[in-house]
A and B are shown apart, each in its own frame.
Chain A
């Protein structure tokens, strides 16, 4: 079974731009969560989607948003990029049938210049 895939793997943007990141979960997994990883703040939860609905949200500004499609694929969007948004963005998927264990993708490395 294929793992969690994320595209693109690397992205360079400038301040003020917006960006969309994509995540394809493991087949059969309906929950997708997003995390931001930085050297200073570590791994921080952004939001979780389940059956196209946002089920949980972390403490991030409204510039960070996401959505989930009927096939469980998910996208996250960051608008009006700031230098501090440079980070590794990780997506994880899980299934109740698999004990809700979250399996992570390789991440998208976003650099904001």
Chain B
């Protein structure tokens, strides 16, 4: 089946810097995308989502950008903090008939104090 960003790179940033985590998706029919944060020993935590009729959405310290032309999703975290250290997953919902998320492989974010 189609997949979303199957890789697990590590991004290391200095505390206070901005972080950008990227994700490629392959199902052009997907219309809903979500970013999750997963800390060790916990379930994924919802961060922000975006629908395909938008190209940018902002939350508290986070921004998601969607480029449908190249099927690319990114998560920007402003003023990264040590508490942001976690694995970040992008996910897409390719099925309009229900909730069936396809997850990417994840990116580990490490924040250096």
Contacts and interface: CB of A to CB of B under 8 A. Distances in A.
Contacts of A105: 43
A8 interface: no
A107 B102 CA distance: 18
- Size range of the interface on A? 20 to 34
Interface in A44-62: 44-45, 48, 50, 55-56, 58-59
Interface string B33-77: 010100001111110010000000000000000000000000000
A100 B101 CA distance: 11
Contacts of B6: 42
Contacts of A56: 95, 97-100
Contacts of A50: 98
**Chain B interface secondary structure, helix, strand, loop or mixed?**
loop
Nearest to A103: B46
A45 B46 contact: no
Contacts of A59: 1
A45 B1 CA distance: 12
Nearest to B102: A45
B101 A101 contact: no
